[in-house]
Amino acid sequence: MNYLILAFVLMSESFAKTEKDPKPGTVIFIHGFMRKASSHWAMDKHFTNRGYRTLNWSYESRKYKIEEHALHLLNEVTALSKKYPLQKIHFVTHSMGGLVLRSLLANKACPIEALYGAAVMTVAPNQGSIMARKLKHIKIARLIFGDQAGKQLIETEEGKFDELLGALPDTKKYLIIAGTCGANPFIPGRDDGKVAVEETRLEVEHEFATVFAGHSWLTWTPKAMSLAYNFIEENNGY
């Protein structure tokens, strides 16, 4: 019951304003490691209620490497680009979902519709995660993370995801949202409990914002929804 009350409170702002006319462009949501599409349910509703076409993409995060997930997503993005040519494809990601997006955008086969518009990355370990790297020394953690994308998360050294995932296009506009409701003694500086604020930064030009929220529930906060929506709205035109 407490979770239902919390969901209602968090969603009240999302449902407060709706628009009947559909907007051009599609927003794709990419969840994080060992999560489901339901983790973006509130964010998805926030956009659909305001006229956006959305795809809340789900994938088996433990089953493949990050770049393989990106290839699977490429199929979805390519289909959308053919169905809605010259309409921008935007993205909102959570945690490892941001790394999947980076691999997608670096792929030469990525359609032009996805290379423009906006990408909102929430709590993404773009520079790697010191907390994840500490877990590689714990046997049970290695078993849980598996030998595919999870292994990449716990073994990739600081700053090395750029080499693994490829270069991001400068035609895309990027917003990084980091969480600050953490006090993890193993993470230097401010953090969301799992990822340091500074670990979310990109090497390419980007806008940056923080939300007082933990890693797992940041995308459910009204502030994160508002930041993501406003940024995509600003970058939906031509």
Give pLDDT tens digits for 36-93: 999 999 999 999 999 999 999 999 999 999 999 999 999 999 999 999 999 999 999 9
Would residue 2 count as lying in a domain? no
Would residue 34 count as lying in a domain? yes
For residue 172, give its domain range: 22-234
pLDDT given for residue 180 in this prediction:
97
Would residue 57 count as lying in a domain? yes
Count the domains in the chain. 1
- The Cβ of residue 8 has, within 10 Å, a number of other Cβ atoms equal to 10
Would residue 7 count as lying in a domain? no
pLDDT given for residue 23 in this prediction:
80
Would residue 181 count as lying in a domain? yes
Q: What is the pTM of this model?
A: 0.91
Would residue 15 count as lying in a domain? no
CA distance 123 to 126: 9
Give pLDDT tens digits for 142-173: 999 999 999 999 999 999 999 999 999 999 99
CA distance 115 to 168: 9
Residue 91, classified by CB atoms within 10 Å of its CB into exposed (0-12), middle (13-18) or buried (19+), is buried
123 CB-near residues (< 8 Å, 6+ apart): 32, 94, 95, 177, 178, 179, 192, 194, 195, 200, 215, 218
Contact 169, 119 (CB under 8 A): no
Would residue 85 count as lying in a domain? yes
Would residue 16 count as lying in a domain? no
Tokens for 187, please give them: 């993470």
What share of the chain in percent tops pLDDT 90? 87
Tokens for 134, please give them: 């500490």
Tokens for 72, please give them: 């699977």
CATH, residue 117: 3.40.50.1820
Which DSSP string do the residues of 111-144 spell out, in sequence order? Answer: -HHHHSSEEEEES--TT--HHHHHHTT-HHHHHH
